[in-house]
Structure 1
Amino acid sequence: MIGQTVLEHFTVDARLGEGGMGEVYRAHDPRGMPVAIKRLHAEVSRSPEVVARFEREAAAQGTLSHPNIAGLYAVGVSEDGAMVFAMEYVDGHDLATELERVDVLEPQRAFGVISQLLSALHHAHQFGFIHRDLKPENVLLARVGNTEQVKVIDFGLVKMLDDVLGAQEVQRLTQTGVIFGTPEYMAPEQIQGLAVDTRTDLYAVGILIYELLSGRRPYEYEEISDLWRAHLYSPIPSLSEHAQHLPPALLSDLDGVLAGLLAKQPEERFASAHAVRRALSSAFGA
């Protein structure tokens, strides 16, 4: 795709990487403004009807405007017929890369990152959007002056694909290696194929909090079947088991917050991202 013009306006400059759903490129518009281009894997249907439905879904998602959500500019088809998305380019790196570098985040920095993530979720949830695939790779970190800014990417992409392609097609593609949702961060209701809501995202936030402060996820298994069984049935491990460097009082408060995020039943979780942020502010003394 290097050198190609996609969606009539964006010239591709470089390949940035590849994820479970597709490849990501850096491009620029006629004014020279950088944008990110996501090209979905070829297994995703390319029929004109599907393209039209993607465009309608993307138009709805484009109404989301928040400083912690990467904007979606356009959706269409590349010259070779692949689905492509033009999104806000974020000059930074993802949270997964940062965790590889530092292992764990200092508590106040972790609170800042999660607070911004929760702000993004609160805004999106008010408009009926659920992310469904929150993970470190979908949380970008950028510098704005002396401040670290979080940008959530791929907001609603899993739902968009599910709505457009249908549950059976998503299941078929998942079996061929195209990933819709990430097992390590999936809530029990996602694993069971049940209805999801805003509390599904909050479950993933709980996994992220645990990982940022301890350097590992609460459930870690090589076999997906074992991992999913733990999400469904295993007790929530205390953060103190893996984050002994944190003050005991903070650990106790955070265990309480995690209990309200990682509950197996959605109705036993926090009711909103705003409520989670209030609880975390109290725990961190912010």
Structure 2
Amino acid sequence: MKTCSACFRLFSQDSGFCPVDGQRLIPVAQASPPRHPDDRRVGATLCGGRYQVWRIVADGGMGRVYQALDLQAGRSVALKILHPEVALDEVSVERFHREFEVSASLPHEHIVEVLGFEKTEDDSFALVMEYLEGEELRTVLKRDKVLPPERLVRMLSQVALGLVEAHERKVVHRDLKPDNIFLVGTHDGDRVKILDFGSVRDNSEGAKKLTVVGTTIGSPFYMSPEQAQGLLALDHRADVWSVAAIVFECVTGRVPFHASTGPMILVSIMGSNPLPPSEAGKAYGAPASLDPVMEAAFMKSPEARLPSVGLLADRVGQAYGLAGSHRDWAHMPQKELAARIRAAMPAVLARHQHGSASAGAAPAGAERPPIAAVAAPSPGATDAFAEDIVMGVPQRLPRWVVPALASAAVLLCALVALLIAR
């Protein structure tokens, strides 16, 4: 192994120069890891002397990630070590250990490889993983706002391949978001790695449950309605919703559901419909052919939703005019995908426009029907109609609520005044 004397990244023996700093690399045997004034782990050797820590890579809510040298295997690894306060929580430690168990049981080229689970000398716990050089999808979106279609299709196809085995085993990731999609650059395009299986729901028979009934797990912007409610009946179709939310953001530059607080985001998810991608992403040229795909992926009822991430990937690719399936596109060179999409899109858009005109589609900006069908209102309920209630949460308050609350407030004030007068 070699290292850079400026940034202390670790590289393979055949590397010559650091791509970040341009420095000539030197063998690790001729260098010493640096020390960090605020982190005694940097420069130390952990887990019984096996892992030599060279630098801090990232910080998260659960722990800190380091790049380390595995002195036994002679390779670079990532150590994800729990923060001290998190390491004191038994449930958090159990989730961390389950991340190791689930990831280790799902070896796949598009899931990060997990190598070990260790106790550290400072009474914390470390997850040992393959070290990846690249960037999270979140970083790309912050910089570029959206992805070009060819990059989106290739990435989504690889995500679908990575999730298929987990879903077949009844394992739900439950925290899919741009932060957990890692992109490793190659000559042909991104190589995708799915990260962080610490929030999984294992629906297999006899699996241990770590989530209290009614608890919501996941990131609000990418959470399905059934996740938002903490329902027991939650399966792989919750991941379909989350991946659809990622796709929506990749083509529009914005999340499909937004509000100022976490609870309000969840209310929005359960009680409203997102804009069509062609409208929300008009500035970025999101095609109208994606609109029905997203509508099918954002169905409130899991039974009505697209049934798999693979089918979602197929529908997205077809919306860009591609023939075949996600298995064909996952490793197709990005340049070839771009050429195929450019050649096919004029015909796709023409067909979509013709189909919309034939169906008498409502003009842009017109109110759309609700995505999810719900029970009809009871007889005489003239102020309520189907789209008022979705998944048991009102989309808007019935007209009688405000007057009733106002009357109650007046009565309460009168009662308080009476008590004070006495």
TM-score by length of 1: 0.85
Other-structure match for 2:244: 206
| Whole-Å separation in 1 of the counterparts to 2:178 and 2:98 | 28
- The alignment of Structure 1 onto Structure 2 pairs a total of residues equal to 275
Is the 8 Å Cα contact of residues 147 and 251 (structure 2) preserved in structure 1? yes
Is the 8 Å Cα contact of residues 99 and 105 (structure 1) preserved in structure 2? yes
| Offset of residue 75 of structure 1 | 1.3
Other-structure match for 1:184: 221
Q: Is the partner of 1:38 in helix, strand or coil?
A: strand
Provide, for residues 144-193 of structure 1, a one-character-per-residue CA deviation record: whole Å limited to 9, x for no partner.
33331111111x211379x878324996xx9xxxxx52111111111111
Q: Is the partner of 1:44 in helix, strand or coil?
A: helix
Other-structure match for 2:56: 15
- Shift of the 54–228 alpha-carbon distance from structure 1 to 2, 3 Å rule, reads closer
Provide, for residues 194-227 of structure 1, a one-character-per-residue CA deviation record: whole Å limited to 9, x for no partner.
1321111111111101100111101121211211
Is the 8 Å Cα contact of residues 55 and 76 (structure 1) preserved in structure 2? no
The one-letter code matched in structure 2 to 1:275 is: L
- Shift of the 226–56 alpha-carbon distance from structure 1 to 2, 3 Å rule, reads closer
Other-structure match for 2:159: 117
Q: Is the partner of 1:148 in helix, strand or coil?
A: strand
Is the 8 Å Cα contact of residues 73 and 88 (structure 1) preserved in structure 2? yes
Percent sequence identity over matched residues?
32
Q: Is the partner of 1:12 in helix, strand or coil?
A: strand
Please identify which structure carries the higher helix content.
1
- Shift of the 52–243 alpha-carbon distance from structure 1 to 2, 3 Å rule, reads closer
Q: Tell me, which stretches of 5 or more residues in structure 1 are unaligned? A: 175-179
Is the 8 Å Cα contact of residues 53 and 164 (structure 1) preserved in structure 2? no
Other-structure match for 2:191: 149
Q: Does 1:167 align with 2:211?
A: yes
| Whole-Å separation in 2 of the counterparts to 1:283 and 1:127 | 29
The one-letter code matched in structure 2 to 1:234 is: S
Q: Which moved more, 1:207-216 or 1:53-62?
A: 53-62
| Whole-Å separation in 2 of the counterparts to 1:138 and 1:227 | 20
Provide, for residues 13-52 of structure 1, a one-character-per-residue CA deviation record: whole Å limited to 9, x for no partner.
1111112322211112124311111122334355899868
Is the 8 Å Cα contact of residues 111 and 193 (structure 2) preserved in structure 1? yes
The one-letter code matched in structure 2 to 1:137 is: D
Other-structure match for 1:82: 124
| Whole-Å separation in 2 of the counterparts to 1:39 and 1:169 | 28
| Whole-Å separation in 2 of the counterparts to 1:34 and 1:94 | 19
The one-letter code matched in structure 1 to 2:224 is: A
Whose RCO is larger (CA < 8 A, sep 6+)? 1
| Whole-Å separation in 1 of the counterparts to 2:183 and 2:46 | 26
| Offset of residue 64 of structure 1 | 1.1
| Whole-Å separation in 2 of the counterparts to 1:266 and 1:118 | 18
Is the 8 Å Cα contact of residues 103 and 215 (structure 1) preserved in structure 2? yes
| Whole-Å separation in 2 of the counterparts to 1:221 and 1:189 | 18
| Whole-Å separation in 1 of the counterparts to 2:44 and 2:90 | 21
| Whole-Å separation in 2 of the counterparts to 1:66 and 1:210 | 26
Is the 8 Å Cα contact of residues 81 and 126 (structure 2) preserved in structure 1? yes
The one-letter code matched in structure 1 to 2:133 is: D
Q: Tell me, which stretches of 5 or more residues in structure 2 are unaligned? A: 1-40, 323-422
Other-structure match for 1:260: 296
- Taking the TM superposition and a 5 Å limit, the aligned residue runs for 1:239-254 are 239-245=277-283, 251-254=287-290
Other-structure match for 2:44: 4
The one-letter code matched in structure 2 to 1:255 is: D
| Whole-Å separation in 1 of the counterparts to 2:111 and 2:138 | 17
Other-structure match for 2:174: 132
| Whole-Å separation in 2 of the counterparts to 1:280 and 1:49 | 38
Q: CA RMSD in A?
A: 2.8
Provide, for residues 84-138 of structure 1, a one-character-per-residue CA deviation record: whole Å limited to 9, x for no partner.
2111211101111111111111112111111111111123212332211111111
Is the 8 Å Cα contact of residues 94 and 138 (structure 1) preserved in structure 2? yes
Is the 8 Å Cα contact of residues 54 and 164 (structure 1) preserved in structure 2? no
| Offset of residue 57 of structure 1 | 6.4
Q: Does 1:70 align with 2:149?
A: no
| Whole-Å separation in 2 of the counterparts to 1:276 and 1:106 | 18
Point out the structure with max Rg over C-alpha.
Answer: 2
| Whole-Å separation in 1 of the counterparts to 2:297 and 2:45 | 44
| Whole-Å separation in 2 of the counterparts to 1:216 and 1:48 | 36
Q: Is the partner of 2:66 in helix, strand or coil?
A: strand
- Shift of the 92–56 alpha-carbon distance from structure 1 to 2, 3 Å rule, reads closer
